[in-house]
Chain A
Amino acid sequence: MVEPLLELRGVNKSFGVVHVLHDVDFAVYPGQVTALVGDNGAGKSTLVKIIAGIYGRDSGEYHFDGKAVEVHGPRDVAALGVEVVYQDLALCDNLDIVENMFLGREETTRLGLDEVTMETRARETLASLSVRTVKSVRQSVASLSGGQRQTVAIAKAVLWNSKVVLLDEPTAALGVAQTRQVLDLVRRLADRGLGVVLISHNMGDVLEVADRITALYLGRVAADVPAKDLTHSQIVELITAGRSGDLGIADPATATV
């Protein structure tokens, strides 16, 4: 078995009296797409924000590359090589693709911004991801379709030689063809050896690209199994009831918040 690239062990998190995550174990393997599924309020977003370093943990360990690491904020996480692509994309409409990809990490020379290096690297990254739908890297992001925007956001995340990429609902607002583009891209990321986490409500997408599925139910891990062992209806049961056949939480009735 391959060692996980990123692993959380026994994570608990409360907001005031609300206990959001109960002893959650979560692992991301290199070269695999791990789908994180769960109903609204199951704790997906909280878990992602803990991985991203936005929230701290009440207890539990954060392992990266087999070693326990201390993370105190988004910068520590970014330094490890973990990038998060958020649902609302976090792109600036008034800037072009290159400017967005290097936002906050602009290359400079003594004479100011180094546009030559930035444009070259942005183009290389997009080409290496086989992105074929963008007509020019100097297009403003406002002129891109939803799928292209998602592509740019993902390319921005891999530009920094990141090892783990978390995608929060990347296909939620996309049409059929654009969903296709993004899913292909997700698969290619994993094929490059990155650990990919896909958070999605769309079971079709999950079954299509995921290698492993981690289902959350009311803040607990209901199942963490290879995707090929699950059917569509089993995933739905895990999400809605916390168990399916002999899989899942032993007695979901006790699993209250």
Chain B
Amino acid sequence: MTAHTDTASAPAPASSGFDNDNRQAATIGDAARDYVNRLRGGDMGLLPAILGLVALLVIFASLNDRFLTTYNMANLVIQASSIIVLAMGIVFVLLLGEIDLSAGVAGGACATITALMLIDYDWTWWMATLAGVAFGAVIGLAIGSLVSFLGIPSFVVTLAFFLGLQAVPLRLIGSGGSLRFNDPVLRGMSIKNVPVTAGWIAAIVIVVAFAALSLWRYRSLSAKGLVHAPIGLVVIKIAVLAAVVLGLTALLSANRAPNPDLFDISGVPWVAPVVIALLLFWTFVLTKTRFGRHLYAVGGNAEAARRAGINVQRVRIMAFVICTSMAALAGLLSASYTGKVSPGSGGGNVLLYAVAAAVIGGTSLFGGRGRAIDAVIGGLVIATISNGLGLLNQAAYINFVVTGGVLLLAASVDAISRRRRSSAGV
């Protein structure tokens, strides 16, 4: 059950008995009014991120006519993918009110392991990937155990790992060197595209499956008299998803080569299905499993969770394991984009980009609030900023200033909306 349905209900007359309490907003109008009330109460959800994304697209499109080309848009999607995947991992630790400052460099270290397995040991791509992800999981296990059992603040533990893990690629690659990353499958994630027909089929399957699931859920909930959203809202959601998915597929299926007579570059980049699969998987874990429910509970009130019999330490360790494993995948996607792994991979502003992405998407820094989709929207915002500023040929320092400002803005929105939530009690 998503967090959406519960709030879509209008106030009941105070005298009504509980057995006929409100189970749905009667009309779209009620649902809309309810949504406005939630916004006023500080429950902003994805709204700031989507508004920000639209504003950024308009600004950059007006400043540079190459920005809105399909070639650049596809490029933006590929750039966003590693930020999104890392941010998805970060969401899990932010949900608990923790932080992982080492996730970026952990991703670099894991990508180094994978690259070495590919080059020195001739492992196949999936074995090498597994090795990288397993290394990430072990790092997460270590961080989680230190935080959970010794009670060291995650800020300090992961700061130590941030420093320590930078040694791994430096030792394995040597300073100034780099490892090529040209495995056809892994490199192909970023430079190859899904065949156009297959892309369309997948897009249509996604839309149809989403529509069928939403309608089936609506029917079964309303038949049993449980809380559900009005049918109009369900239809609107399906329509929006269909427009976004089919629209993007159409955009990316056109030939986007700068010189279309010589080359044919068309189809959805392979990273997109990877990101979508991860999004679906983690959304399922967060909303439909006991583990997901326990994550929210520990983030909301760890003591209540402990009294309810939840193994808080295990949940906390798992969150760090998931975060660092996702960081490993993000490191691979980043290496796939650049075609190499160097000692600096995953350093710099990679981690802050991901934290900013999660927070911009609506994940709270205070714990208890966040979804996998937040990372996707927030990641697109961050990637748009760095892509757009890059096209404007600004000095590099501008990029840092703008991204830092955006992170600060998102954190302020988070803090203010949290305060309004606690006073409005939404």
Contact = CB atoms under 8 A, between A and B. Distances in A.
Contact of A104 (B18, B289, B310): B310
Contact of B21 (A92, A105, A137): A137
Given A103-B310, A138-B9, A94 B18 contact: no
B426 A143 contact: yes
A172 interface: no
Nearest to B366: A94
Interface in B295-332: 296-297, 299-301, 303-305, 307-310
Interface in B178-231: 220-221, 224, 226-227
Chain A binding surface, main DSSP class: loop
B307 A95 contact: no
B293 A99 contact: yes
Contacts of A140: 6-7, 426
B423 to A, nearest CB: 10
How many A residues touch the partner, as a band?
A: 35 or more
Nearest to B294: A104
Interface string B404-426: 00000000000000000110011
A111 B227 contact: no
A189 to B, nearest CB: 16
A180 interface: no
A88 B303 CA distance: 10
A75 B425 contact: no
B369 interface: yes
Contacts of B294: 104
B296 A91 contact: no
Contacts of B220: 116
Interface in B216-274: 220-221, 224, 226-227
B291 to A, nearest CB: 10
Contact of A138 (B7, B11, B293): B7
B23 interface: yes
Interface of A: 74-75, 78, 86, 88-96, 99, 103-106, 108, 111-113, 115-116, 119-120, 123, 126-127, 130-140, 142-144
Interface of B: 1, 5-7, 9, 11-12, 14-19, 21-23, 220-221, 224, 226-227, 284, 287-290, 293-294, 296-297, 299-301, 303-305, 307-310, 368-369, 421-422, 425-426
12 contacts: A89-B304, A94-B299, A95-B296, A96-B6, A103-B293, A108-B290, A116-B221, A120-B224, A132-B16, A135-B22, A137-B21, A142-B426
